[in-house]
Each structure stands twice: as C-alpha cells, then as structure tokens.
A and B are shown apart, each in its own frame.
Chain A
Amino acid sequence: MLIRSRHRETSAEVAFNLFNRIFLFLLSLIFLYPFWYVVICSISSPSALRGSVGIILWPKEITWAGYRVCFNNPNIWMGYKNTFLYVLMGTSISMVLTTLGGYALSRPNLMLKKPVMILITITMFFGGGLVPTYMLIRNLGMINTRWAIVLPGALSTYNMIVMRTSFQGIPVGMIESAKIDGANDFRILWSIVLPTSKALLAVIALFYGVGMWNSWFSASIYLQDRELFPLQIILQEIIIKNSPISAATVGGALDNMNQDDYYTRTLLQYSTIIVSSLPIILLYPFLQKYFVKGVMIGSIKG
C-alpha cells in the first residue's frame, strides 16, 4: 500500500481514474433507474406520463388508484399465500435432500460413493428435457397439485456439491469422537455438522427460497386451478397476458376501450410489480450479502 502511494500517478492515470468513477456511477444509475421508473409509473396518472419525452425523474399527478385496485384484488392475496406456502415447502424439501446428500457424499471410504457420484454427474450434462419431464409429472398424477411445484427441481446438484465440499472441511476428529461416543450419522449431522455450517445453510436456503419465489414456469404448465396459483402467475396475467400496452399497439383497441379502464389497468400493472417484489426488495440488503457469500463459497471450493 505504501509503495503504491509513493508511485506518482501520471496525468493519464488521473484522467482514467476520474473517468472510471463517473462511468461506474452512471452505470449504477442504469441498474437502479428502471425500479424508480416503476415506482413513478405506479403513482402517476398515465395520461400525464403518456406524452413525455426523455427521462422522467419525478411522479406527476399523483394517484393511488393502482394500489387501491391492487390491494382489493383477492387474486393477489391468494397468490401471496400460495407463494409463501411453496417457498416454505420447497425450501424445506430442498434443504433436507441437499443436506442428506451433501453429508453422505462427504463421508470418506463409502464403497458406493463413486457410482452415486457418476449417477449425479451425468445429470449435469444430459437430461430428458421438457416434454418427457412433463409426461413424468402427468404419469405421477401430480398435475394440478402442489407437489408438481415443489418436487421436480427440488435438488440442485450444484448446491449439493458445494455443501459436500464444505462438509469435507470439518475436522475428521470431531466426527470420529462422536462416533466412538455412540452417536449415529443422523445425530452427527444434526448436532455437529449442521451447527458448524449455519452460514452455508443460510446461503443455500436463500438460493432455494428466492428461486422458488421467482419461479413461474412449472406453475404455468402444471397448474390449472386458480386456488393453487403462485404470485408470479397472477403477476403474469396482470402484466403480460392482458397487457393494455400490447393491446394498444394492435391498433384501435385503445379507442374502443374505456379510457378510465385503460388507465386503471396500467396503474394496476405497475403497482402489482411493486407489491409482488416488496418482500425481495425489503430483504435485499440481507439477501445480497448472503448471495455474494454463496458465490464465493462455490467458486473457491467447488
């Protein structure tokens, strides 16, 4: 550090430094502005924004109509409830499978370890694909059940390997002495291995949890009953399927549609985006810290 400060910066380097700072700052605005734009659109009268040129910085003609409609929409609350349930169920199942697999495969001298590892590794490069998986879920009778959302894809091989690698770092002595004391492997996993790996468990649980919160595709192909729909499907219906934006471009649709209706729907779309992303945004400072940690663990050990 000392040496570096002794090095005299050339004027080109000073210019680079300044340029770099400005560039990265502007870049950060590009990452953040779209979110601010959605906030603005969710509370501004669409007619006030419609003709605007350039970048909008502040809301115009503030209205809360979008949020009112959004909060009065029973679908949103049902979606929220279902998504919470899926996140809870999915993350629990995933964590049980991942820790069991991670622990078992971290034990040395298992004769069947190699065949099991081969079985697992093949699936990283080769798979059945969309349609055979769909047929499997159909044949298992899981169509239109919650299981179709939480079981397929419950186990991420990558997460399991990261966990295994981390468990291998636990001193053998600790595990051996517990064994001599008569503890079986379930006990060792529960009261020795897991307590020493809390941060890793948190990271992996968050990976699974956020993945489940954001997932929509399996729900869109496996579920038919509205009572089972997660939030993302409701969101898709509101912001993509009956998008007045695309309806308006087809031509003439806007003229036939009641203006008030159109505006309310536009507001509803933006406010729904905000309402549905709120938990993730509130948890963001916490999430990003753990996610970064997760990537680091994966990159160093995996």
Chain B
Amino acid sequence: MSNVKAARIPKGQMGGKSFQHRLGRDVSVNKYIYLMLVPVVAYYIIFCYVPMYGILMAFEDYRPRTGIIGSPWVGLKHFRAFFSSDYIGRLIRNTLLINIYSLLWGFPAPIIFALLLNELKGNVLKRYVQTASYLPYFVSTVVICGLLRSFCASYGLFNSIGALFGAERVDLLSKPEYFRTIYIGSDIWQGVGFSSIIYIAALTNVDPELYEAATIDGAGRFRRMLNISIPGIMPTITILLIMNVGSLMSLGYEKIILLYNSLTYETADVISSFVYRRGIVSGDYSFSTAVGLFNTVVNFVLILLANTVAGKVSETTLF
C-alpha cells in the first residue's frame, strides 16, 4: 500500500506529503460533503469573521470612504474617551443591575414554575396551564413593548388596577424608578413558561423508583421535592446558570430602545442601547465599536469565569 501511495506523489515534497496526500484523498473521496460545507463556511466567514475584522475600526478614526485599511490609526483613543466619560458609570451600572436582577428573579422563576407544575396530578389543568404559559413567548418584541406602553400609561391597565387601591395615576414609563421592574417583570412574564420546558423535561427523566422508595420511607411531598426533584435537575440548572452568568453583560437592546426615552435614561440606558444610539443613529462608528468591543471582552471573561467556578463547585461545565 505504502508503495502505491508514494508513487502517486510528486517528488521533492517529502516533508508535507503525507498530510497533503491524505487531505487530497479525503477531499476527493468526500468531495460532495465538502461542497456542502462551502456555503456554510462562506456564511461564517462573511457574516461572522468579517465583522470581527471590522473591530479594527475601534482603533482607528474610521471613515467609510477610506475603509479600514485607509483610515488613520489612533490606538486606544476611543477607549480612553469612553473610560473617562461621564456616562460610563451609568452604563455599566444599568447593564449590570438589569442583568443581575433579571438573573435573581428570572432564573429561579421557571424552576419553581416547573416544580409546581410537576406536583399537579390532574393532567387537564397541567396541560392548560402549560399551554397558556407559552403563549407570550410567541409574541413579537414590538407587540410586547406596545402592550407595555399601553398598560403603563396613565389610563392604562396598571394604573386602573392601582386606582383600586387609591394610587395616583402616573405614566409609569416616564419614571426611572419603575423601568427595571417593568423590563424584568415583562421578561419573566414572556419567558417563564417557555424556559420551564427544559426543566419539566428534566423532571420527567428523574427515575420514578426514587420517588417510590422515598414514599415508602415516609418522605412527604416537600421532602421528595427537596431531596429528589431538585437534585435530579441540578445538572440542567447548573448549565443554564453558567450560560446566564456568561451573558450578564450582553443585554439585548431591542426591548430597551422600544421602551426607554430621555426621561428614563438614568436607569434604562445600557451599553448596547448606547452603542446603537452612538453607532447607528449618530454614525459615530469607531467610538461605538470600541464600546461594543469592551462589552464583548467583558462577556467573554465572564463566561470563562462562570465555567471555571462551575467546574470547581460541581462536575458540570459547558466546555
């Protein structure tokens, strides 16, 4: 065999021949598979890697006319400008606070919901509650924000309910102190049902014999929930927690920019909405890219940290 192989390879390429030869053979045997990969790899290079190359803008005074290669290099100027600006504290604080509160309230919510649903023995009620809980997930961000604007208005639903208790009517979305609650509350409302699916699936995989054995040993409902259900879904919880901590700084801007206004910037303006405003609306390309890059790097560090901590605390890690 080796003789045949060697005979096919042109002389003078002794060093790399074995690898090149194997690769050449692999490509010719699997040519259709590689053909399938061409559009996929092209997609990733164009829509993911070219923007990564575009990050170089952050170190330049980028002008669309001259492109990345022709624009003057300014080093860390934009980063310095960002770090010494007045709003950096507000942006980081808002981004972190919205995320930390989201995690604090939003992360346990689907777990509790799934545990409670798991305790329902009547199938009809269970299925009805589940089906109802998924509905908000399918509604678009624009509609959700439209609903929130309507509910929060002075004569909207929330104020009508508040009026029952004698509260004064106020436009809730113009008050900075309510923004986080509205944002996080609506997020939980929209996502709790759908996020609970994964836990419900994990709960059905818990060995029923464990429950039966515990019942025989006289464990009540709460004991079974605490000592069997929760440990049973712990790996799922850990993985999702790592993913959530890893995205602490990567807050989406879509809902923010549909809900905030200059009255609520104090609590509502986050890094990504700031990047949107400065980059897309005002055309301040280099500066906003620098801010975006700062955000991406912090995210990346957070996800590495979360993964390491999870590896130390439990056996479950993401990668």
Contact = CB atoms under 8 A, between A and B. Distances in A.
A4 B212 contact: yes
Contact of B57 (A127, A135, A189, A210): A135
B221 A13 contact: yes
Contact of A296 (B136, B201, B216): B201
Contact of A131 (B131, B154, B193, B289): B289
Contacts of B236: 299
B150 A288 contact: no
In this complex, the member of B51, B119, B261 whose beta carbon has the largest number of chain A beta carbons within 10 angstroms is B51
B210 interface: no
Q: Which of B26, B141, B142, B149 has the most CB of A within 10 A?
A: B142
Interface residues of B, number: 101
Contacts of B41: 116, 119
Contact of B194 (A126, A216, A295): A295
Interface in A105-157: 105, 107, 109-112, 116, 119-120, 123, 125-136, 138-139, 151-155
Nearest to A12: B220
* Interface of B, helix, strand, loop or mixed by DSSP: helix
Contact of B164 (A53, A123, A217, A287): A53
Contact of A111 (B23, B138, B292): B23
Contacts, number: 287
Given A20-B119, A129-B55, A299-B198, A27 B47 contact: no
Contact of B40 (A34, A100, A240, A287): A100
Contacts of A245: 149-150, 153, 156
B163 interface: yes
Contacts of A80: none
A51 B155 contact: yes
Given A10-B220, A21-B125, A123-B44, A132 B57 contact: yes
B92 interface: no
Interface string A272-285: 01001100100011
A112 B37 CA distance: 10
B280 A131 contact: yes
A55 B140 CA distance: 24
A31 B40 contact: no
A170 interface: no
B40 A249 contact: no
A136 B261 CA distance: 29
A138 B64 contact: yes
Contact of B132 (A31, A55, A109, A130): A31
A258 interface: no
A273 B146 contact: yes
B101 interface: no
A54 B120 contact: no
Given A20-B119, A56-B160, A129-B293, 11 more contacts: A21-B125, A31-B136, A32-B135, A104-B40, A116-B40, A123-B48, A129-B292, A130-B275, A239-B149, A280-B139, A299-B236
Interface of A: 3-4, 7, 9-10, 12-13, 16-17, 20-21, 23-25, 27-28, 30-32, 34-35, 37-38, 41, 49-56, 96-97, 100-101, 103-105, 107, 109-112, 116, 119-120, 123, 125-136, 138-139, 151-155, 160, 184-186, 189, 210, 213-217, 221, 232, 235-236, 239-240, 243, 245-246, 248-249, 269-270, 273, 276-277, 280, 284-285, 287-288, 291-292, 295-296, 299-300
Interface of B: 22-23, 26-27, 30, 32-34, 36-37, 39-41, 43-44, 46-55, 57, 64, 67, 113, 116-117, 119-120, 122, 125, 128-129, 131-143, 145-147, 149-151, 153-157, 160-161, 163-164, 171, 173-174, 189, 193-194, 197-198, 201-202, 211-212, 215-216, 220-222, 236, 253-254, 258, 261, 272, 275-276, 279-280, 285, 288-289, 292-293, 295-296, 300, 303
7 contacts: A4-B215, A20-B116, A127-B48, A133-B51, A139-B67, A285-B131, A291-B134
- 6 nearest CB pairs, A to B: A128-B51, A132-B54, A214-B140, A239-B146, A129-B292, A185-B32
